[in-house]
Every structure is written in structure tokens, then in C-alpha cells.
Amino acid sequence: LMQAIARVNRVWGDKPGGLVVDYLGIGAELKAALSKYTQGDRDQVRMDADEAVRQTLTNLESALAFLEGAPWRSFFGASPVQRLTLLKQCLEHLLSTQQRDAFIDVALKLEVAYAISAGEERVTAKRNEIALIAALRANLVKYTSGGGRSRATVERDIRQLLSRAVMADGILDVFQSAGLEQPDLSIFSEEFLAEVRGSRHENLAIETLRRLLADEIRSHARTNIVQSTKLSERLDETLRKYHNRAVDSVQVIEELIDLANEIRENAARARELGLSEEEIAFYEALAENGSAKELMAHETLRTLAQLLVQTIRASATIDWTRKEGVRAKMRIEVRKLLARYGYPPDLQKAAVDLVVRQAETIAADWG
């Protein structure tokens, strides 16, 4: 019987609290099943529903308390474009008052309680406020937390954040409404960074940049350990200064933008060198020691990086990272290659170690 109910219990989006569909066909069976429950069981269900209502209203009140000082009350009568601005102002308020985590915790409790109590009249009256809290929580989680989402997903979401107002009554393209052409909003493009620099919501801009940079650096860590280590250290140092109040919000935005520009320039440099993503990773591993870079011609390092990729690919076998014999042979091949192209002997051991570590980092892509 419960399986039958589950199959026909569907929620329709345009009905308050949803709509149970087609219980009529199992009415007799349902009545017989319910008759087996005691009055106490039925009272308990009612008590649970009342408790869910209480939890919903209590958590809603707590969540709205976090927004005191923000113009959230203006949200409901505003146009879609105005709502996007108000949403950003509320997010900025939560970030500037350092209440992000506490707000997310309360908002999540609210959503859980609301899932149970949505059809109750007292809760239905607060549906708009609950929707606002849910939207704020979703945006905080999506744009200001870690996650390891793909670059494509991040890029899509940030474009939506900047160019669209997502509301209950549809999606409005802000640029189209203003009669403007859709700009290039690729992550870390000059136009995107100018948008961030000009944002009036400094804390939201910082969190957005931090999230994007952290995701980008994390993706580099899978292919380029030298570059990702340097970028990660710079990001950590910038955020440390900001948290210690050594720099203000405007300065930290500029430092984060500088870091974003460096990431973009690194990608452009790889293209100029004519090196693949793997080859530039080995190039930087070889050039990590400043002395080697000074002593060896750029073209030699470039050729060496390309040959390293070929040599290591040829040496790599299934599960080679777990086979010490294969690793030892690979080290010998790398050392021979370095010596043949005049890599400084006193720097070879460190270079071999770094090259093999780099190879292990991208080994999964070679499987």
C-alpha cells in the first residue's frame, strides 16, 4: 500500500503546498490501513505537524534577524532587476557582518522544517519570506564556499549571477532589458574583473573572487604542481593579510584581481611558447630553480619539456606510480635526458624529484 501511495503522491508546482494525485482509486485500501492506527498514533502525527510549523516559524524569525540592517523587506514589491540588486545587498550584509555560516545553518533548518509543514496555513502566509531565505542560502553556498565544481559549472553560475535575475516569475536578462549587448563574462576576462572591481558590494566581490581563484588553483593542482603551489601561497597570504586587517577590502580586491590576471597570463604564456598543458607543467618544473633558468637557453628548456612528456609517457605503465621498479627506471631516463641537454648537475636530483612528482600528479589522465 505504501508503495502504491508513493507512486501516486505527486506535487504540482502551481498548487499551494502541492497536490496529492489519484488517491481515489485506492480509497478503500487506504481507509482499511488507517483504521489499524490508534487515535494516539493519529494525534502523534498531528503533534509532529504542529512541531514542524513551530520549527518553521521559529527558524524563519531567526533567519530574518540576521538580515536586520539590510533592505530585505523591499524585495517582495520590487521589479526583477531591483530584486537582483536587493539580493546582492542582503548577501553583502551577511558577509560584512561575518554571519555567513550561522545564517546557512539556520536557513537549512528552516528548509527542512518547511518541507514538512508547507501545506499548513500559518506557514503558507510566510512563503515569500521563506523563499527569500532559501535563495540567500543557495547563493551563499554556491558562490562563497569550496566545492571542486568544474570550471564550466562555475563559469555558468557566475555568468548567471552577473547577468540574470532569477525570480519566481521568470528569468530576466538584465543586459537585454537595458538594450545592451551581452558582454564577455568569461572567468578572469578583463571585462569580468572590471565588473568585480566596480562592485559596490565589496565583501561579496571578495568572496566571489576567493571562490573562483580557489577553484582555479585546485584545477591547476591536478596538472601543474609548481604553478598551483605558488598561486595557492599567494592567495593564502592575501587572505591572511585581509583577515588580520593589514589591508582593507579595496586593497584585497586589487590583490585578488592581480592574482587572477597572473593566472590568465600564465595560460597566454603557454600558448605563446607553443606548449601543451602537460609540457608547460614540466617546463615550469625544470625552470623552478632560478639558476637552471639562468644557465640554460629558453629554447633548450622548451625542447627538454617536450621530450620529458614523451619519455615519461613511454615509461608509464598501468599503476606505475605504485611500482617502485618502474619509478626507478623513469628516474634514470629523466636523469639521462637532463644530462644530455646540459641541465646543471648539482640541480639534477631536485629536478628529477620534481619532474617525477609532476608526472605522478597527472598520471590519472594518462591511464
Q: Which of 240, 273, 306 is the last residue of a domain?
A: 273
Residues 127 and 48 in one domain: yes
Residue 109 lies in a domain: yes
Residues 82 and 136 in one domain: yes
Domain count, the chain: 3
Place 366 in a pLDDT band, splitting at 50, 70 and 90: low
Residues 61 and 89 in one domain: yes
Residues 260 and 290 in one domain: no
pLDDT digit string, tens, across residues 36-68: 555 555 544 444 667 888 889 999 999 999 999
- Across the range 241-245, mean pLDDT stands at 85
Distance, CA of 109 to CA of 27 (rounded, Å): 34
Distance, CA of 9 to CA of 346 (rounded, Å): 73
Average pLDDT, the chain: 76
- Structural domain boundaries enclosing 260: 190-273
Q: Which of 82, 116, 143 is the last residue of a domain?
A: 143
Residue 57 lies in a domain: yes
Residue 203 lies in a domain: yes
Q: Is the pLDDT of residue 168 over 60?
A: no
Residues 334 and 244 in one domain: no
What confidence score (pLDDT) does residue 273 get?
84
What confidence score (pLDDT) does residue 183 get?
39
Contacts of 324 (CB under 8 A, 6+ apart): none
What confidence score (pLDDT) does residue 88 get?
87
Residues 139 and 43 in one domain: yes
Residues 80 and 108 in one domain: yes
Q: Is the pLDDT of residue 174 over 80?
A: no
Largest CA distance in the chain: 89
What confidence score (pLDDT) does residue 218 get?
85
User: What does the H/E/C string look like for 324-363?
Assistant: HHHHHHHHHHHHHHHHHCCCCHHHHHHHHHHHHHHHHHCH
Residues 139 and 41 in one domain: yes
Residues 217 and 138 in one domain: no
Distance, CA of 149 to CA of 174 (rounded, Å): 26
- Across the range 102-124, mean pLDDT stands at 86
Distance, CA of 277 to CA of 213 (rounded, Å): 18
Place 230 in a pLDDT band, splitting at 50, 70 and 90: very high
Q: Which residues pair with 164 in a beta bridge?
A: 173
Which of 162 and 289 is assigned the larger pLDDT?
289
Residues 338 and 253 in one domain: no
Residues 261 and 295 in one domain: no
Encode burial over 81-100: b for 16+ CB neighbours within 10 A, e otherwise: eebbbbbbbbbbbbbbbebb
Encoded amino acid at 145, one letter: S
- Across the range 133-154, mean pLDDT stands at 67
pTM above 0.85, yes or no: no
Residue 6 lies in a domain: no
pLDDT digit string, tens, across residues 13-27: 444 444 444 444 444
User: What does the H/E/C string look like for the chain?
Assistant: CHHHHHHHCCCCCCCCCCCCCCCHHHHHHHHHHHHCCCHHHHHHHHHHHHHHHHHHHHHHHHHHHCCCCCCHHHCCCCCHHHHHHHHHHHHHHHHHCCCHHHHHHHHHHHHHHHHHHCCCHHHHCCHHHHHHHHHHHHHHHHHHCCCCCCHHHHHHHHHHHHHEEEECCEEEEHHHHCCCCCCCCCCCCHHHHHHHHCCCCHHHHHHHHHHHHHHHHHHHHCCCHHHHHHHHHHHHHHHHHHHCCCCCHHHHHHHHHHHHHHHHHHHHHHHHHCCCHHHHHHHHHHHCCHHHHHHCCHHHHHHHHHHHHHHHHHHCCCCHHHCHHHHHHHHHHHHHHHHHCCCCHHHHHHHHHHHHHHHHHCHHHHC
Residue 349 lies in a domain: yes
- Please give the backbone phi and psi of residue 173, each rounded to the nearest 5 degrees, phi first: -80, 110
Residues 52 and 136 in one domain: yes
Inter-residue contact 84 to 174 (CB < 8 Å): yes
Residue 185 lies in a domain: no
Residue 13 lies in a domain: no
Place 303 in a pLDDT band, splitting at 50, 70 and 90: very high
Q: Which of 255, 273, 291 is the last residue of a domain?
A: 273
